[in-house]
Chains A and B, each alone.
Chain A
Amino acid sequence: MTIWWLISIIGSLAAVLAGFIWVAVKLSSVQSSDPGKKKKKDGKDASVNDLDKAYSDLAEEDVNHLFNKEFREELRNRGRLRFEKIVDENAMFLKQDLDLTISQLNEYMKQQISSKLDSEFTVYSKAMKEAQELTLGALQKTAQELEQQRAELSEAMKKSMTLHEAQMLKGFETNMAQIVESYVMQSLGEQFDMRSQLPYIMAQMEAHKKEMMEDMLL
């Protein structure tokens, strides 16, 4: 609809311009169609000039009449409106192009970022996998060392416990013997008198007589 309005306005302007040109051509042809009469006209220059002036005034008046102030104002308004419309349309087209460009740019950016992120993620994933494998290997090694140390510690503890148990048992037996001995000593110490001990003493001395005799003879 708008384009048709524009076409009609342009067509009107073209028709006015064509009429103006036709009038100008007619006037020039009228002036050049009487060359033999120049001399005659020399005398009549003043009247021709007046005539030209009259025609000019007439044409000017016609032009002023045809393109009067209202018509020019109307044309100006139409042109302003048309210009605004064109500007709006172009702005709309520009906006559409800009939106399309932005959309494409977004898509492009998205693709680029995705590919970049994919590659980075691939590298990162690879690095992570390597780090994971390295960490796993270190953890396994540490676990093996810990297990070995635990086994050694367990063995050492077992040996120490066995040794300690044997020492405690030995100490217990020794102390127990000493306790029993002390108990018997304290229980019997006051019960023996010399007369009751005499047979035991004589028997012991008799048993060691040979050793004592050898010592006395030295």
Chain B
Amino acid sequence: MTQAPQGKLLTFPPALIGRTDLSHLLRELETLDNDLESQKARNRGKTQGYHLPNMSQALTDLLEINKIDVADDQARMNIRTELRKLKDHAPVIHMTFATDTDPESMEKIVEWIRKELHPQALVSVGLQPALVGGVYVRTPNHVHDLSIRAHMKDSRGIIVQALDALAKGIA
């Protein structure tokens, strides 16, 4: 697992769901870093009095959750390095749903995953209406079909048993 700049695990905000979000976040962080470096050059090496540009909610949450001072050049560099590593090595869980997802539900799910499974897990979302309901989860090494389609397929025996009982009743 990747360590936070202060020696703790880097914690992702709930709004950061997948690898795409992480790439956006990293690009935004690099832009921010360039902007601050430019300001630093204009201010002749003085880090005080930085004018912080507008940041996205994800980046703001990331900085707040991990208590990172964005004006600290070393901290920015560390977090950029960690995010680059996580972009390539963070565990990704693919989740396929039967319907379109909404941000609130996804945040709850991601929050549960990072709390129960892995704090730096990323989630890739897919859509497959044939699942009817539930979710089709693909972890790095296994597949967990938690959909209603699979549940109904497993429950075919109930229908067959009912038909057998009906046939016996008719006979």
Contact = CB atoms under 8 A, between A and B. Distances in A.
A173 interface: yes
Contacts of B99: 192-194, 197
Contacts of B144: 208, 211-212
A205 B130 contact: no
A189 interface: yes
A215 interface: yes
Contacts of B100: 194
B140 interface: yes
B139 A188 contact: no
Interface string B78-112: 00000000000001010001111110110011001
Interface in B144-171: 144, 146, 148-149, 152-153, 156, 159-160, 163-164, 167
Contacts of B140: 215-216, 218
Contacts of A102: none
B142 interface: yes
Nearest to A197: B133
Interface string A166-209: 00010011101110110011001100111101101110111011
B116 A189 contact: no
B102 A194 contact: yes
A46 interface: no
A30 interface: no
B132 interface: yes
Contacts of A208: 137, 144, 146
A213 B101 contact: no
B118 interface: yes
B108 A215 contact: no
Contact of B139 (A169, A174, A177, A212): A212
Nearest to A194: B105
Interface of B: 91, 93, 97-102, 104-105, 108-109, 112-113, 116-118, 121, 129-130, 132-135, 137, 139-142, 144, 146, 148-149, 152-153, 156, 159-160, 163-164, 167
Given A185-B149, A209-B117, 4 more contacts: A173-B163, A198-B105, A212-B117, A213-B117
27 contacts: A173-B159, A173-B164, A177-B159, A181-B152, A181-B156, A184-B132, A184-B152, A189-B98, A189-B132, A194-B99, A194-B102, A195-B102, A197-B98, A200-B148, A201-B109, A202-B109, A205-B109, A205-B135, A205-B137, A205-B146, A206-B116, A209-B116, A212-B144, A215-B141, A216-B91, A216-B118, A216-B121
Interface of A: 169, 172-174, 176-178, 180-181, 184-185, 188-189, 192-195, 197-198, 200-202, 204-206, 208-209, 211-213, 215-216, 218
For the complex of A and B, 7 pairs with smallest distance between CB atoms = A204-B146, A177-B156, A215-B139, A177-B159, A192-B133, A173-B160, A194-B105
